[in-house]
């Protein structure tokens, strides 16, 4: 399924580019990253199907609290969202993909300010 392909690509990229993430969090960390990325996609879908971008932005706020308090910095969340933006096009229907990219960009702007 396209969702699995997206998550696979994003997670493989993170662990390839940042080997220290593996050193710090190990196998359990990788499982969590996979779980988190499915969760990101679930919230993107919810925002898309309801037309409420705010659902994804609120989720991002929640995610920042949960992850930064567990030693995962905002920079990694931004990086993860960027990877989703690269991985989504062509794997989902165009209209849906465009909406996802829009929500991800809005969330990144919020995270980077």
Partner 1 sequence: MELEPRLFAEHLLAGDDVAALLYVQKALEHFSHTDVYEHVMTPAMYHVGDLWEQNKITVAEEHLATGVCDFVLAQIDHRDPPAAEAPRVLLCCLEGEEHYLGLKMAASIFRRYGWHVRFLGPTLPLEHVLKDAAQFQPQVIGLSGALAYRIPQLKASVETLKAETNADIIISGRTALIYDLGAQVGYAAATIASLEALENWLEDGNEGTANATI
**Chosen residue from 5, 24, 39, 110 binding partner 1 by CB under 8 A:** 39
Task: Report how far Cα 53 is from the mean position of its chain's Cα atoms.
Answer: 15
Q: Which lies closer to partner 1 via its Cβ, residue 16 or residue 69?
A: 69
* The two structure tokens encoding residue 55: 């659902």
Q: Which lies closer to partner 1 via its Cβ, residue 17 or residue 73?
A: 73
User: Nearest-CA neighbor of 2 among 78, 94, 82?
Assistant: 94
Instruction: Spell out the SS3 assignment of 33-51.
Output: HHHHHHHHHHHHHHHHHHC
Residue bearing tokens 């905002």: 74
Q: Per rule CB under 8 A, is residue 105 in the interface with partner 1?
A: no
DSSP letters, 65-93, are HHHHTTT--HHHHHHHHHHHHHHSTTTS-
- Rule CB under 8 A: which of 62-101 touch partner 1? 62, 65-66, 69-70
**Chosen residue from 17, 31, 42, 98 binding partner 1 by CB under 8 A:** 42
Q: Per rule CB under 8 A, is residue 24 in the interface with partner 1?
A: no
**Chosen residue from 52, 86, 89, 109 binding partner 1 by CB under 8 A:** 52
* The two structure tokens encoding residue 16: 């390839």
Work out how close the CB of 73 gets to partner 1 at its nearest, in angstroms, rounded to a whole number: 14
Q: Which lies closer to partner 1 via its Cβ, residue 51 or residue 90?
A: 51
């Amino acid at each position: 399924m396209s969702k699995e392909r997206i998550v696979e690509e994003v997670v493989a990229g993170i662990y390839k580019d940042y080997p220290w993430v593996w050193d710090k969090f190990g196998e359990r960390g990788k499982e969590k990253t996979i779980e988190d990325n499915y969760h990101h996609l679930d919230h993107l879908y919810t925002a898309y199907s309801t037309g409420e971008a705010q659902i994804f932005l609120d989720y991002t706020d929640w995610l920042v609290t949960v992850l930064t308090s567990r030693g995962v910095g905002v920079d990694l969340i931004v990086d993860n969202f960027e990877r989703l933006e690269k991985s989504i096009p062509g794997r989902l229907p165009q209209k849906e993909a465009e909406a996802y990219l829009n929500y991800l960009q809005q969330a990144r702007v919020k995270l980077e300010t």
